[in-house]
């Protein structure tokens, strides 16, 4: 099993790796690291809203490709088509800013897609 430092550093070193596999520990350690960074940015936003939003935009741009590549690797590791990432991760990520303005049923679908993404990421690795 990987340590936090190993898992989080693999997130950044495998930035454009869409072909390999990611284990649960690699995925969840990086998830924890990104959640901590998001929390720090939210704290900055409470102190200086404009600065916090600017930092969050840069952070979002820097992490979009490694997030997608890691989900592709994780889905491949559990034996699911990596193309499912488009439905469970990319679409909800694009809707995040418009969610307040969507009808309730589209909000519910968005939340279900996010939850399915989390559930699928919990599944154990599948042997070849």
The CB-based long-range contact list for 2-11 (8 Å cut-off, 24+ gap) reads 2/26, 2/29, 3/29, 4/29, 4/32, 4/33, 7/33, 8/32, 8/33, 11/66, 11/70
Helix-then-strand count for the chain, H and E:
6, 0
* Cβ count within 10 A of residue 8: 20
Supply the pLDDT for residue 66. Answer: 96
* Secondary-structure percent of the chain, ordered helix, strand, coil, rounded to 5: 75, 0, 25
Instruction: Say if residue 94's pLDDT is above 90.
Output: no
Encode pLDDT of 100-122 as tens digits: 888 988 889 988 998 998 999 99
Supply the pLDDT for residue 69. Answer: 96
Overall pTM > 0.85: yes
């Amino acid at each position: 099993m990987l340590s936090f430092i190993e898992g989080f550093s693999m997130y950044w070193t495998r930035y454009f790796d869409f072909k390999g596999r990611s284990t649960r520990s690699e995925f969840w350690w990086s998830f924890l690291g990104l959640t901590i960074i998001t929390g720090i940015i939210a704290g900055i936003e409470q102190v200086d809203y404009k600065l916090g939003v600017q930092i969050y935009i840069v952070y979002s741009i820097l992490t979009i490709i490694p997030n997608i590549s890691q989900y592709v690797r994780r889905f491949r590791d559990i034996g699911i088509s990596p193309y499912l990432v488009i439905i469970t991760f990319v679409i909800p990520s694009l809707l995040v800013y418009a969610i307040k303005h969507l009808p309730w049923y589209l909000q519910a679908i968005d939340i279900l897609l996010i939850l399915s993404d989390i559930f699928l990421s919990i599944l154990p690795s599948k042997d070849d």
